[in-house]
Amino acid sequence: MTNIAFIGLGNMGNPMAANLVKAGLNVTGFDLVADNLEQAEANGLNIADSAVDAIRGAAVVITMLPAGKHVLSVYDNVLDPAEAGTLFIDCSTIDVDSARKAHELASESGMLSIDAPVSGGVGGAEAGTLTFMAGGSSEAFALAEPILDPMAGRIVHCGDGGAGQSAKICNNMILGISMIGVGEAFVLAEKLGLSHQALFDVASTSSGQCWSINTYCPVPGPVPTSPANNDYKPGFAAALMLKDLKLAQEAAQATGAVTPLGASAMQLYALFNATGEAGTDFSGIINFLRGQKTGQK
Ligand code: NAD
């Protein structure tokens, strides 16, 4: 049986690791938070006392951590004691530079590695339907694919090291911009006396169509499953959208890419977060555009 170490058992990591256990894999977990370890134990994981303890005897090390600095610090601790040839899979959403640095460190220690950030949120993590965007060598990807499979709806090999993170921030920059665009269109429609349903019926089937209106419509009614029908409970919290838009802007600055709408979207989400809406679904930005509060904490 493949032994897997899973480091970072938060909102995403815990249900992801639980799906690996359900698939019959032997998973040893570590997190800094005692409650998360308790939950992991209830989900059938073995619990380790430290990251180093978790990776002993593991053929695969998965990390699901908040940011690049956490990933690099865990890699610093565990690369030396890990067995050569261990596969490192980082599923966290982190900046592209840190992701490339993590690949470099892994390679220098004789390890295989991929960056494999996800989309699909906690719901996708629980259901085992996440989309994985992977970057790394074909050899590492081939080994990683069957491990990711129990947690995945779709797995895309995007290219070399860092390509998964690049795909993730480009995708989420489109999402942030498009959600603001759709919100602005509904606010304008309201001022023009046009009903939400009429705008939806037209735009969702013509050239305005996109995921932000067709699947995740930011006003209650047209798409019953969208967070707008549930007081804008996330879903995908505004704080996480802001994180990803910041990562996109960091990458744009580092590479000289011109992304004026990405920059504006980041500023608008920063203002939205600053009004106490960090815990609101990101589609709640429509209320901010109206000058209203949503108020999810
Ligand atoms: P979270 O804060 O709930 O979990 C992160 C966990 O990492 C925490 O439990 C924390 O204790 C642990 N941790 C931090 N440093 C550690 C260390 N040195 N050793 C061991 N554990 C450590 O965050 P989350 O919502 O699970 O998100 C994890 C990653 O997934 C983030 O990069 C996030 O951007 C990304 N993501 C989240 C979502 C979502 O909807 N929550 C969706 C897609 C991607």
Q: Look up the pTM and report it.
A: 0.94
Write the pLDDT tens digit of every residue in 129-160.
999 999 999 999 999 999 999 999 999 999 99
Question: Which positions are catalytic?
Answer: 168
Give the list of residues 6+ apart from residue 85 with CB closer than 8 angstroms, or none. Answer: 110, 111, 112
Write the pLDDT tens digit of every residue in 8-34.
999 999 999 999 999 999 999 999 999
What number does the ligand 1 atom closest to the CA of 243 have? 34
Domain spanning 3-160: CATH superfamily: NAD(P)-binding Rossmann-like Domain (3.40.50.720)
Helix, strand or coil for residue 284?
helix
The helix (H) or strand (E) run that includes residue 289 is helix 285-289
The pLDDT of 222-251, averaged and rounded, is: 96
The pLDDT of 191-210, averaged and rounded, is: 98
Residue 188 has pLDDT above 80, yes or no: yes
Domain spanning 166-290: CATH superfamily: N-(1-d-carboxylethyl)-l-norvaline Dehydrogenase; domain 2 (1.10.1040.10)
Beta strands 112-115; 130-136: pairing state? antiparallel
The pLDDT of 102-119, averaged and rounded, is: 98
Write the pLDDT tens digit of every residue in 80-103.
999 999 999 999 999 999 999 999
pLDDT class of 295 with cuts at 50, 70, 90: low
Please list every protein residue whose CB sits less than 6 Å from any atom of ligand 1: 7-13, 30-33, 36, 51, 64-66, 70, 73-74, 92-93, 118-119, 121-122, 236, 240, 243
Cα(10) to centroid(ligand 1), Å: 5
Give the list of residues 6+ apart from residue 88 with CB closer than 8 angstroms, or none. Answer: 60, 61, 63, 75, 82, 102, 106, 111, 112, 113, 114
Residue 215 has pLDDT above 60, yes or no: yes
Distance CA 184, CA 60 (A): 45
Q: Whose CA is nearest to atom 1 of ligand 1?
A: 10
Residue 297 has pLDDT above 80, yes or no: no
Distance CA 101, CA 78 (A): 15
Share of the chain above pLDDT 90, in %: 95
- The structural domains of the chain, with segments of one domain joined by +, span 3-160, 166-290
